[in-house]
């Protein structure tokens, strides 16, 4: 079997069968999608993009955007999806760090991004949400029969930027082998076939929407309803025509607030949740309302998916299931590295063909995140029970996960601390009924300063992507510290745990 991800996708493609269904719009067949991917690959090649070159993409979700991803796989380019909420200041960092040869943005952003791209030696083309733009103009007259680049399992297919608690974002290098092995495993574990129709309401700049939802659909020869965003009423209306939904916990909270009932889900066979912890109460209420137990799984940008509750067997609320076939998960003592017995909490470590190649141009950081016997140190604290189910009990780092997105506090704090009148700040995540965690900033003002919540939120508007912006600013006289002077964020999280509780 070829280790080229696109070879596997093409082998699974069922010809003239539907691939992408636009709700209320056109249907793209597999043949049409593969033909356009060939034209775009030819256009990219004509622009001078060679195997191993990075292609950065910050565009709205569309069929053509997914087909651009396929085109990059075909020509051996390294696909670099960027959150559409990133500001120009954030784009400057990513483009400077990854050094893409090509940056694809919306037409409205072209002029602003061109200045940044030029400074880093990149060219800019455009792709709009309606499928128009300069890249498609270039592709229109290109041939269909592009000769695909030869790629091995170890060649890079994508770089996804991830967050930590210190420093800037890191580029996780994912290979053709990583993506192909994981998507094939998920397809088989979740019994996905060409008869499945997925409701795809996730963003496509993230592991969940791009590599889980899209790659699994492609490798099964299945089809998807491609929605620009999640809308509970639209999703419920599509369920009689669909068989699967992949979502973040927020989706399921919102669905429970809609007209969801057993009749609405009669044609559905699988609901998957990930990217953030699913509250046990959501799992229980969803099963009570629909008769379906949500299948929760656990993954990371660096590893794709690691575990999954079983398709057949108990899907246990509050757990992320069992290690996937071929993936080894263990729990170790963070101080000694010793492997812990069942039901003892420690550091979750992962090994398998799904685990990334390392961090882009960060060999020291890469080495520090792997054990001597090749396990990736996840940064998550958890335990494995006597039945083999993995439980995530917390994070060793102070990462905030809101709406399925990772936010590291240091970046938000850095922006707040620059503001006039701010002495210092601490950013934490506290439980939020819709987003899993709400980004919350505790701010200490300088003496005789009249700074208020609105002024800080306004100042952050153009400096941080919207999902990183605090939902609340709380002012305090000082921040709790330990004997070494370190801010005790656990104390703050406990103090404000009920901040977003519904009353």
> What residues have CB less than 8 Å from 234, skipping those under 6 apart?
23, 227
Q: Residue 381 has what pLDDT?
A: 83
For the stretch 426-445, pLDDT in tens is 999 999 999 999 999 999 99
Q: What is the mean pLDDT of residues 23-35?
A: 95
| Residue percentage of the chain with pLDDT more than 70 | 96
Flag the least confident range among 115-129, 266-280, 346-360, 454-468: 266-280
**Two tokens at 276?**
């953030």
Residue 164 pLDDT level (bands cut at 50, 70, 90):
very low
Q: Does the pLDDT at position 246 exceed 60?
A: yes
55 or 4: which carries more pLDDT confidence? 55
Q: In the prediction, which pLDDT does 80 show?
A: 98
Give all domains of the chain, ordered by start, each with its CATH number: 30-176 (3.40.50.12780), 230-395 (3.40.50.12780), 399-496 (3.30.300.30)
Closest to 498 (Cα-Cα) out of 436, 434, 440, 430? 430
Distance CA 402, CA 85 (A): 14
Mean pLDDT of the chain: 93
pLDDT tens-digit map of 130-160? 999 999 999 999 998 999 999 999 999 999 9
User: What CA–CA distance (Å, rounded) separates 188 from 309?
Assistant: 13
* Nearest partner of 311 among 300, 319, 301, 322, judged by Cα: 322
Tokens of 282: 């959501």
- Say if residue 263's pLDDT is above 80: yes
Q: Output the furthest CA–CA distance in the chain (Å, rounded).
A: 70
* Strand, helix or coil for residue 157: strand
Give dist(CA 258, CA 455) in Å, integer. 35
The whole-angstrom separation of Cα 204 and Cα 210 is: 5
Q: Which residues pair with 272 in a beta bridge?
A: 246, 295
Tell me the C-alpha distance between 273 and 285, whole Å. Answer: 14
């Amino acid at each position: 079997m070829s280790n080229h991800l696109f070879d596997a996708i093409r082998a699974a493609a069922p010809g003239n069968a539907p691939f992408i269904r636009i709700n209320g719009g056109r249907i793209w067949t597999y043949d049409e999608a593969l033909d356009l991917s060939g034209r775009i690959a030819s256009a990219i090649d004509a622009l001078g993009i060679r195997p191993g070159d990075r292609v950065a993409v910050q565009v709205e979700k569309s069929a053509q955007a997914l087909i651009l991803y396929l085109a990059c796989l075909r020509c051996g380019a390294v696909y670099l999806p960027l959150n559409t909420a990133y500001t120009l200041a954030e784009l400057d960092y990513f483009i400077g760090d990854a050094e893409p040869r090509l940056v694809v943005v919306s037409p409205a952003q072209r002029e602003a991004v061109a200045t940044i791209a030029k400074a880093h030696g990149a060219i800019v083309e455009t792709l709009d949400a309606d499928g128009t733009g300069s890249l498609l103009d270039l592709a229109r007259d290109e041939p269909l029969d592009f000769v695909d680049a030869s790629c091995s399992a170890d060649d890079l297919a994508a770089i996804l930027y991830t967050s930590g608690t210190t420093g800037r974002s890191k580029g996780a290098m994912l290979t053709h082998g990583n993506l192909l092995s994981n998507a094939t495993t998920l397809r088989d574990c979740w019994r996905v076939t060409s008869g499945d129709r997925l409701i795809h309401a996730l963003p496509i700049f993230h592991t969940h929407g791009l590599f889980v939802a899209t790659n699994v659909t492609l490798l099964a020869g299945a089809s998807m309803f491609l929605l620009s965003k999640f809308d509970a009423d639209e999703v419920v209306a599509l369920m009689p025509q669909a068989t699967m939904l992949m979502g973040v916990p927020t989706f399921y909270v919102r669905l429970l607030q809609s007209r969801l009932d057993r009749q609405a889900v009669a044609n559905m066979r699988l609901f998957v949740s990930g990217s953030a912890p699913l509250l046990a109460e959501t799992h229980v209420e969803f099963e009570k309302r629909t008769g379906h137990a949500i299948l929760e799984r656990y993954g990371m940008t660096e590893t794709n998916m690691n575990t999954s509750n079983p398709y057949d067997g108990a899907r246990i609320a509050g757990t992320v299931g069992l290690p996937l076939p071929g993936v080894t998960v263990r729990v170790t003592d963070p101080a000694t590295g010793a492997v812990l017995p069942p039901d003892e909490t420690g550091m979750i470590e992962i090994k398998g063909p799904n685990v990334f190649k390392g961090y882009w141009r960060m060999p020291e950081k890469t080495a520090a995140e792997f054990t001597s016997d090749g396990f990736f140190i996840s940064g998550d604290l958890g335990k494995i029970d006597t039945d083999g189910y993995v439980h995530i009990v917390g994070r060793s780092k102070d990462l905030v996960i809101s709406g399925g997105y990772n936010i590291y506090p240091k970046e938000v704090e850095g922006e707040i601390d620059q503001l006039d009148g701010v002495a210092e700040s601490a950013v934490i995540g506290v439980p939020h009924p819709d987003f899993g965690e709400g980004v919350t900033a505790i701010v200490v003002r300088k003496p005789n300063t009249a700074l208020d919540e609105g002024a800080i939120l306004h100042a952050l508007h153009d400096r941080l992507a919207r999902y990183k912006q605090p939902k609340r600013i709380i002012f305090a006289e000082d921040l709790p510290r330990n004997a070494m002077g370190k801010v005790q964020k656990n104390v703050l999280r406990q103090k404000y745990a009920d901040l977003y509780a519904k009353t």
